[in-house]
Structure 1
Amino acid sequence: MKKRNGYRISAVFLSVLLLVGLLGPGGMKAEAAFEVNASAAILIDAETGQILYEKNSEKQLGVASMSKMMTEYLLLEAVKAGKVSFEDTYQVSDYVYTVSQDRSLSNVPLRAGETYNIKELYEAMTIYSANAATIAIAEKIAGSEAEFVKLMNKKAKELGLEQYKFVNSTGLNNKDLKGNHSTGGEADENMMSGRDVATLAYRLLKDYPEVLETASIPKKKFREGTDDEIAMENWNWMLPSLVFEYEGMTGLKTGTTDFAGYCFTGTAERNGQKLIGVVMDAQSTDGAGSYNARFVEMKKLLDHGFNQFERHEIAKAGSQLKGAETLPVQKGKENEVNIQTKSAVAILAPKSSNAKYKADVVLNRSDLNANKELTAPVEKGKVVGSVVVKDEKGQEVPFLKAAADTQVETAEKIEKANWFVLSMRAVGGGIADGWNWIVDKVTGWF
Structure 2
Amino acid sequence: MKHKMKKWVAVLLMPLLLLTTLGTTAPAYADSTLGIHVDGAILIDAESGKILYEENADTPLGIASMTKMMTEYLLFEAIKEGKISWDQEYKVNDYTYAVSQDRRLSNVPLRRDGTYTVRELYEALAIYSANAATIAIAETIAGTETEFLKLMNAKAQELGLKDYKFVNSTGLNNSDLQGMHPQGTGPDDENVMPAKSVAKLAYYLLHDYPEVLETTKINTKLFREGTTDEIKMDNWNFMLPGFVYEYAGVDGLKTGTTNFAGHCFTGTATRDGKRVIAVVMKAVDANGVGSYKARFDATRALFDYGFSQFSEVEFVPAGHQFDKQKELEVIKGKEKQVSIAVKEPIRMMVKSSEKDLYVPEVTIDESKLKDGSLQAPVEQGTVVGHVKLVKTEGTDYGFIDADHPGTDLVTKDAVEKAGWFSLMMGAIGDFFAGIWNGATGFIKGLF
Shorter-normalised TM range: 0.7 to 0.9
Aligned-partner residue type, residue 406 of structure 2: T
Question: Does the aligned pair in 2 maintain the 1:62–1:260 contact within 8 Å?
Answer: yes
Q: Which residue of 1 aligns with 2:391?
A: 391
Is 1:62 aligned to residue 46 of structure 2?
A: no
Q: Which residue of 1 aligns with 2:162?
A: 162
Counterpart CA distance in 1 for 2:233 and 2:298 is 24
Aligned to 1:210, what secondary structure does the other structure show? Answer: helix
Structure 1 position 261, deviation (Å): 0.6
Structure 1 position 192, deviation (Å): 0.7
Higher relative contact order (CA 8 A, sep 6+): 1
Listed one character per residue, the Cα deviations across residues 378-414 of structure 1 (whole Å, up to 9, x for unaligned) are: 5545555544322333865622234884321525463
Listed one character per residue, the Cα deviations across residues 251-291 of structure 1 (whole Å, up to 9, x for unaligned) are: 11111111111000110111112111110000011001111
Aligned to 1:437, what secondary structure does the other structure show? Answer: helix
Listed one character per residue, the Cα deviations across residues 339-383 of structure 1 (whole Å, up to 9, x for unaligned) are: 444433223333457843201234556x53564655555554555
Listed one character per residue, the Cα deviations across residues 42-82 of structure 1 (whole Å, up to 9, x for unaligned) are: 11111111111111011111111111111111111222223
Counterpart CA distance in 2 for 1:416 and 1:394 is 46
Structure 1 position 157, deviation (Å): 1.5
Superposition TM-score, scaled by structure 1 size: 0.84
Counterpart CA distance in 2 for 1:266 and 1:180 is 31
Counterpart CA distance in 1 for 2:163 and 2:323 is 39
Q: Which residue of 2 aligns with 1:116?
A: 116
Listed one character per residue, the Cα deviations across residues 278-330 of structure 1 (whole Å, up to 9, x for unaligned) are: 10000011001111110111111111111222222212234334434445556
Q: Which residue of 1 aligns with 2:172?
A: 172
Counterpart CA distance in 1 for 2:49 and 2:129 is 26
Structure 1 position 426, deviation (Å): 4.4
Aligned-partner residue type, residue 78 of structure 2: A
Q: Which residue of 2 aligns with 1:100?
A: 100
> What runs of 5+ residues in structure 2 fail to find an aligned partner?
1-28
Question: Does the aligned pair in 2 maintain the 1:49–1:403 contact within 8 Å?
Answer: no
Is 1:52 aligned to residue 25 of structure 2?
A: no
Aligned to 2:70, what secondary structure does the other structure show? Answer: helix
Instruction: Indicate the RMSD between aligned Cα atoms, in angstroms.
Output: 2.8
Greater fraction of residues in strand: 1
Aligned-partner residue type, residue 198 of structure 1: A
Q: Which residue of 1 aligns with 2:281?
A: 280
Report percent identity of matched pairs.
52
Moved over 6 A (4+): 29-33
Q: Which moved more, 1:411-420 or 1:141-150?
A: 411-420
Is 1:308 aligned to residue 309 of structure 2?
A: yes
Q: Which residue of 2 aligns with 1:184?
A: 185
Counterpart CA distance in 2 for 1:343 and 1:52 is 23
Q: Which residue of 1 aligns with 2:84?
A: 84
Counterpart CA distance in 1 for 2:266 and 2:431 is 66
Counterpart CA distance in 2 for 1:441 and 1:53 is 65
Superposition TM-score, scaled by structure 2 size: 0.84
Aligned-partner residue type, residue 79 of structure 2: V
Q: Which residue of 2 aligns with 1:36?
A: 36
Aligned to 2:282, what secondary structure does the other structure show? Answer: strand
Question: Does the aligned pair in 1 maintain the 2:64–2:256 contact within 8 Å?
Answer: yes
Q: Which residue of 2 aligns with 1:198?
A: 199
Aligned to 1:38, what secondary structure does the other structure show? Answer: coil
Aligned to 1:164, what secondary structure does the other structure show? Answer: coil
Counterpart CA distance in 2 for 1:362 and 1:208 is 35
Closer, same or farther: CA 394–318 of 1 in aligned 2, 3 Å:
farther
Question: Does the aligned pair in 2 maintain the 1:43–1:52 contact within 8 Å?
Answer: yes
Question: Does the aligned pair in 2 maintain the 1:284–1:293 contact within 8 Å?
Answer: yes
- Computing the radius of gyration from Cα coordinates, the structure with the larger value is 2
Question: Does the aligned pair in 2 maintain the 1:44–1:53 contact within 8 Å?
Answer: yes
Question: Does the aligned pair in 2 maintain the 1:149–1:166 contact within 8 Å?
Answer: yes
Q: Which moved more, 1:344-353 or 1:322-331?
A: 322-331
Aligned to 1:312, what secondary structure does the other structure show? Answer: strand
Structure 1 position 126, deviation (Å): 0.9
Question: Does the aligned pair in 2 maintain the 1:159–1:402 contact within 8 Å?
Answer: no
Closer, same or farther: CA 415–121 of 1 in aligned 2, 3 Å:
farther
Counterpart CA distance in 2 for 1:165 and 1:221 is 33
Q: How does 1:180-259 map to 2 (within 5 A)?
A: 180-181=180-181, 182-259=183-260
Listed one character per residue, the Cα deviations across residues 170-223 of structure 1 (whole Å, up to 9, x for unaligned) are: 111111122222242111111111111111111111121111111111111111
Aligned-partner residue type, residue 170 of structure 2: T
Question: Does the aligned pair in 2 maintain the 1:255–1:263 contact within 8 Å?
Answer: yes
Question: Does the aligned pair in 1 maintain the 2:245–2:296 contact within 8 Å?
Answer: yes
Aligned-partner residue type, residue 226 of structure 1: T
Q: Which residue of 2 aligns with 1:260?
A: 261
Counterpart CA distance in 2 for 1:322 and 1:265 is 44
Counterpart CA distance in 2 for 1:50 and 1:121 is 33
Listed one character per residue, the Cα deviations across residues 150-174 of structure 1 (whole Å, up to 9, x for unaligned) are: 1111111211212211121111111
Q: Which residue of 2 aligns with 1:148?
A: 148
Counterpart CA distance in 2 for 1:313 and 1:252 is 29
Counterpart CA distance in 2 for 1:185 and 1:158 is 25
Aligned-partner residue type, residue 46 of structure 1: A
Closer, same or farther: CA 438–130 of 1 in aligned 2, 3 Å:
same
Counterpart CA distance in 1 for 2:97 and 2:446 is 100
Corresponding pairs, count: 417
Greater fraction of residues in helix: 2
Question: Does the aligned pair in 2 maintain the 1:30–1:351 contact within 8 Å?
Answer: no
Question: Does the aligned pair in 1 maintain the 2:265–2:279 contact within 8 Å?
Answer: yes
Q: Which residue of 2 aligns with 1:440?
A: 441
Aligned to 2:307, what secondary structure does the other structure show? Answer: helix
> What runs of 5+ residues in structure 1 fail to find an aligned partner?
1-28
